[in-house]
Amino acid sequence: MKLCLALALVSLLGVVGAGGSGARLVTVIWSTGERSLTYQDTEGTSHPIGGKLDGCQTTIFDWIDEICLSETKRNAHLSYTDGGERCFGQSSRSNVTCGTNVTCDITFFTETECNWKWAAGFDSSDTKTRTVEIEGR
């Protein structure tokens, strides 16, 4: 079942997610209960992150320090080990058929400026210390 779902996800990301050259995050929730989070870089390469779709997590990639996602606030933040960062906002959500008797809820988060709420105690004019307010952080 997991192989079929993985193949369906690759197909869906290629068709549903076609277009655009910016980095983005894609979450998928299958009606079978499976969940996935994928980071697509600016070259279109997909990097599977895992199944945690809310809160902060580390990854298997040594170039990503942490990724935080809040579906309720519809935003996300990715921190690189070199100190760089990317921020994302929810851009679309759809429910599609992705297998026999299986539906998928797919959410795309596209890159945005890191301009939402600053964490308490940080100077909003100091862009080097800003952070995204994410629940559970």
- Could you tell me which residues come within 8 angstroms of residue 115 by beta carbon, excluding any fewer than 6 positions away? 87
Q: What is the pLDDT of residue 116?
A: 58
How many C-beta neighbours within 10 Å does residue 122 have?
A: 12
What digits encode the pLDDT tens for the residues 27-67?
999 999 999 999 999 999 999 998 888 899 999 999 999 99
Beta strands in 1-137 (DSSP E): 24-30, 35-40, 46-50, 55-57, 64-70, 75-80, 85-99, 102-112
What digits encode the pLDDT tens for the residues 64-85?
999 999 888 899 999 999 999 9
Q: Which of 101, 113, 96, 102 is nearest to 14 (CA)?
A: 96
Query: Quick check: 122 pLDDT over 90?
Result: no
Above pLDDT 70, what percent of the chain?
69
Q: What is the pLDDT of residue 20?
A: 52
**pTM for the full model?**
0.69
Mean pLDDT, the chain, integer: 76
Region 4-28: mean pLDDT is: 58
Above pLDDT 90, what percent of the chain?
50
Q: What angle do CA 52, 42, 76 make, to 5 degrees?
A: 35
